[in-house]
Amino acid sequence: MGTHISPHTLRHTFAAHLARKGMPLACIQVLLGHNGPHQTQLYARLYHEARKELYDQWM
């Protein structure tokens, strides 16, 4: 019995990875084809965590 990975899972993982790497949410929004920022807000927390991690590396 293998692991089932849906297209939705791949899409979410892709967007989450980009957010964790610090890609601006507006860019993720365009890549995912979202009509507005409200659909991309799910990844905002990951984006802010990534920015903090980058900041912490310089301190």
Give per-residue pLDDT as tens, 10-45.
888 888 888 888 888 899 899 989 888 888 887 777
Question: How many Å apart are CA 29 and CA 5, to the nearest integer?
Answer: 22
* DSSP label at residue 35: S
- Rounded to a whole number of angstroms, the CA Rg of the chain reads 13
How many CB atoms are located within 10 Å of the residue 22 CB?
14
Any idea which residue has 């019995």 for tokens? 1
Put simply, whether the predicted model's pTM sits higher than 0.85 gets the answer no
